Structure 1
């Protein structure tokens, strides 16, 4: 996922059911990050991300009970968790 020309992020469901990812800005090395605690996502969950604008990104996944949860951020704000359905 890229929301600006020099920025790239990838996301996945970790073995413990956490949402994890890695990102880099231009020539900086990749940095890994844990976005949520363990057990929030089904191990078989698909994960998707969308960027509405250069300053907004959302990541969505299926939880163990089948509902949809996600995280989002707006520019420099920290990632926030949100329950969608």
Structure 2
């Protein structure tokens, strides 16, 4: 997600965790952990939505096919 001053990227790591990187104009890039290892299917994908500038929701497929989320 990006608004010109702020950008977020989320992804599945090889061990099945969900991680993100957040970029802010004034601070640069910072890492963030969204879920623990083995939370996501390594073949799964991540969906990120934002209804406002200060709130992001992350959805992914769990190890056994469930839909997981972090707000």
Compute the TM-score of the two structures, normalised by the length of structure 1.
0.76
1:43 alignment partner, SS class: coil
Matches within 5 A, 1:59-78: 59-72=58-71
5+ unaligned residues in a row in structure 1: which ranges? 73-85
In structure 2, C-alpha distance between the alignment counterparts of 1:45 and 1:37, rounded to whole Å: 15
5+ unaligned residues in a row in structure 2: which ranges? none
In structure 2, C-alpha distance between the alignment counterparts of 1:63 and 1:35, rounded to whole Å: 13
Matches within 5 A, 1:39-58: 39-58=38-57
In structure 2, C-alpha distance between the alignment counterparts of 1:5 and 1:53, rounded to whole Å: 14
Structure 1 outlier segments of 4+, above 3 Å = none
Compute the TM-score of the two structures, normalised by the length of structure 2.
0.89
